[in-house]
Amino acid sequence: MNDSPIFTPCHAPWWIAWPVTVLARLLYRVSSRGAERIPAGGALLLANHISYADVFALQMACPRPIRFVGHEGLMREHWFFRLVFKLTGTIPVSPANALETMRRVTAALKAGELVLIFPEGAISRTGQLMKLERGFELMARKAGVPVIPVVHDGLWGSVLSFSDNKYLFKYPRVRRTHVFVAWGEPIPAETATTATVRQALLDLGCEAFSERPQLKRHLGRELVRRLARRPGRIEYVDRTADRNPITAAQLLAAAAALSGHIRRTVPSRRVGIVLPPGAAATITNLAVVCAGKVPVNLNFTAGRAALESSLRIGEIDTIITANAMKAKLPNFPWPERTLDFKSEMAALGGKRAVLPWLVAAWVLPNQWFAALLGLPKYGDHEEAGVIFTSGSSGEPKGVVLSHRNILANCWQISSLSILPETAVMLACLPIFHSFGFTVTMWYPLLRGCRVVSVPSPLETGKIVDAIREEGVTVFVGAPTFLRPVVRKTRPGDLRTLEVVVSGAEKLPMDLYETYLEKYHIEIMQGYGLTETSPVSNVNQPDPALPTATATRQPGRRRGTVGRMMPGMTVRILNPDTKLPQPAGETGIVALRGDNVFSGYLKDPEKTAGAFHEGWFVTGDLGRFDEDGFLTIEGRLSRFSKIGGEMVPHGTVEARIVEAFRCDETDGYAAVVMGVPDAAKGEQLVLLSTRDEITAEAVRAKLTELGLPNLWIPKVVKRVDKIPVLGTGKLDLKAAKDLALTATPQIPAE
């Protein structure tokens, strides 16, 4: 790694180069790695493009002068760019002069120069890597020079980027911007395709993002500092019972007072929390982190055996809850030391204990407040939270999330336009779910969004009232929770909603169409796992067109889960060989990034099984298109191999719903499961809540729709209800157990 002092634009006179050098070094602190990979002769540099300042950062990190290729439209828009192009020898490019550009670039490369092209063709207004144009392939081959991929990170969010959907008109950064530049290995011209370069840019983007200094910080310290910066702002509106608005100072003071009590009285490292979404849960989690402990929000909808396992693995002997919750959960394995949140706050002295911290929040600089709590500056890879998986396909596993994991995912989400600081976010997802833990609890505190909480995603009436009365702009949830809202709303109830995000399970197209037609809202589908803290992909609204000549950049694509989050990279692996699949083909999605966890709590065997050569293997099947949008085909466990053919359960279910015109308003109507079969390896069993869905009817209708015989379930089991987890996901383990009870009915072929 090096901090390069060099800035020498091609052909720029010294009286231009030196002032620009001084200004650039005042504004940016550029570090780089891999510059020694740049060859001595000609080479074509291909870089990501996220701001107007990219050229300065890249030249500062490069030991050789760079000749840039810039869009000719800039020269037409302003005299300043015409002057810059002329003084620096920048080669203009446009569709009208493509051949001339090709000739000039090839000549420069053959002359031994470094020529840099932004293959996306324009500044990314989404903050993500866009589609790569193919022109560079021919340039490299005609010149006979290698391609050098290069990625810089740190300029998104600056005034010269399109973050917050605008250039320039936003608060400038007070300190020098940390920019990291990662240089890749040379790619021979013959193999430098859009697919190989895109993969290299994603890998380098992950490497560059990892160098962000804020990822090393302590989660608690970051939360405290940001709350202390806005003490009078309404941070939280708790609608558990009566409406209770809470300022950032009040939230911070309550957490600070409770944290000291926890530090003094709780000897164990991990503290269990059993509370619904609300101010009490947020204060408790923040207090536990500030006390130097690890919060473990327990899934109180899980069975007793799973909870006992979680308590044992987590070595949890103290739980903070509410007496009302304790009364509702008589079968919960409460430990001897179970504390009531209100009683503990009252025992501290109530308002008398909180008042000094409240004054401190208003008076002290944010750094001093954090120091007063004794919070360290760095957390990095230390444990910051444990989320026990829902157990949808087996026994719960303790997913250890570090400070780096959570902060990385929060910064990744912040870099998109989908959850700006002006958002008013509805928080109803349980905090034992990773989305509720990171996205609707920690993220708003770091970003500055206002939170409106409802204690359960099943309380649809309260959700609709909260959206209408509080002016909620962002609503996130699983389709299971989004669907009942349709029945409870009246005209105008959702008029303030700007974004609805769906995750945890596949978004049904009928639900998508309903929101679009009834509310004029396009649901943004996302994807993530507990192990990725959780968000790895999400669609976002298309960015605005800032100028008359700007081209449309898609932020979303129907049927997909969006592009990769910034700082993440991916491989699509063959399910059998685990070798990377060619671009565009379907395989197992494997991820890498700072938001990806490092392992399961006290389970090295399962941890080893979750990774392949350093890549986290999700177990989901997916494919990417050339624009970088990911389509999830389903869980690998939700495919059956019958007679050597892979049969997707989700596709069969969709055809059954279509054939029988099932109304899924009240949940799942039909679920296909695979069970062992001696003759063909596996058989399909259909679980259904509908009397008219019989084996004979299924065969007749699916045959009429043209489904192969192997794809048609031979056995249909009538059930009162399809098992669903508290997070809204299908309970695969319980569904599989139900299907296994039907296997004796499978007829012999």
Higher pLDDT, 418 or 223: 223
Per CATH, the number for 14-211 is 3.40.1130.10
Please check the confidence at residue 500 and state whether its pLDDT lies above 50.
Answer: yes
What's the pLDDT at 490? 87
- The tokens for 727 are 């997070």
Higher pLDDT, 742 or 14: 742
Higher pLDDT, 261 or 729: 261
Instruction: Give the residue-averaged pLDDT of 686-691.
Output: 84
Note the pLDDT tens digit of each residue in 335-391.
999 999 999 999 887 778 899 999 999 999 999 999 999 999 999 999 999 999 865
Please check the confidence at residue 472 and state whether its pLDDT lies above 50.
Answer: yes
pLDDT level of residue 11 (50, 70, 90 thresholds): low
Instruction: Give the residue-averaged pLDDT of 173-191.
Output: 90
What's the pLDDT at 8? 44
- Highest mean pLDDT range out of 179-193, 394-408, 541-555? 179-193
Please check the confidence at residue 84 and state whether its pLDDT lies above 80.
Answer: no
Please check the confidence at residue 727 and state whether its pLDDT lies above 70.
Answer: no
Please check the confidence at residue 261 and state whether its pLDDT lies above 60.
Answer: yes
List of long-range contacts for 347-355, beta carbons under 8 Å, 24+ apart:
347/261, 348/257, 348/258, 348/261, 353/257, 354/250, 354/253, 354/254, 354/257, 355/253
pLDDT level of residue 6 (50, 70, 90 thresholds): very low
What's the pLDDT at 4? 41
Rounded Cα–Cα distance for residues 562 and 525 (Å): 7
Instruction: Give the residue-averaged pLDDT of 535-541.
Output: 93
Q: Alpha carbon of 208 to those of 48, 156, 180, 198, 414: distances in Å?
A: 12, 13, 6, 15, 17
Instruction: Give the residue-averaged pLDDT of 325-329.
Output: 92
Please check the confidence at residue 95 and state whether its pLDDT lies above 90.
Answer: no
Inter-helix orientation angle 219-228/279-290, to 10°: 120
Instruction: Give the residue-averaged pLDDT of 647-662.
Output: 80
Are residues 443 and 449 in contact, defined by beta-carbon separation less than 8 angstroms? yes
Instruction: Give the residue-averaged pLDDT of 53-81.
Output: 77
Note the pLDDT tens digit of each residue in 281-296.
999 999 999 999 999 9
**pTM to 2 decimals?**
0.86
pLDDT level of residue 749 (50, 70, 90 thresholds): very low
What's the pLDDT at 425? 95
Rounded Cα–Cα distance for residues 567 and 201 (Å): 10
- According to DSSP, residue 560 is labeled S
Are residues 672 and 609 in contact, defined by beta-carbon separation less than 8 angstroms? no
Instruction: Give the residue-averaged pLDDT of 58-84.
Output: 74
What's the pLDDT at 748? 39
Q: Round the average pLDDT of the chain to a whole number and report it.
A: 86
Rounded Cα–Cα distance for residues 580 and 567 (Å): 20
Note the pLDDT tens digit of each residue in 608-639.
989 999 999 998 889 999 899 999 887 776 67
For the chain, the domains span 14-211, 219-611, 639-745
Are residues 299 and 307 in contact, defined by beta-carbon separation less than 8 angstroms? yes
Instruction: Give the residue-averaged pLDDT of 499-506.
Output: 86
- The tokens for 181 are 């530049």
Q: What percent of the chain has pLDDT over 90?
A: 53
What's the pLDDT at 443? 96
Listed residue (475, 501, 503) closest to 489, CA to CA: 475
pLDDT level of residue 80 (50, 70, 90 thresholds): low
Please check the confidence at residue 572 and state whether its pLDDT lies above 70.
Answer: yes
Residue 581: how many CB atoms within 10 A of its CB?
17
- The lowest-confidence range among 280-294, 295-309, 478-492, 543-557 is 543-557
Please check the confidence at residue 119 and state whether its pLDDT lies above 70.
Answer: yes
Higher pLDDT, 655 or 139: 139
Q: Which CATH architecture has domain 639-745?
A: 2-Layer Sandwich (3.30)
Topology of the domain covering 219-611: Rossmann fold (3.40.50)
pLDDT level of residue 188 (50, 70, 90 thresholds): very high
Higher pLDDT, 92 or 596: 596
Please check the confidence at residue 5 and state whether its pLDDT lies above 50.
Answer: no
The dihedral region occupied by 560, where left means phi > 0, alpha psi between -120 and 50, and beta the remainder, is: beta
Please check the confidence at residue 747 and state whether its pLDDT lies above 50.
Answer: no
- The lowest-confidence range among 301-310, 341-350, 542-551 is 542-551
Q: Alpha carbon of 439 to those of 275, 424, 443, 451: distances in Å?
A: 17, 13, 5, 11
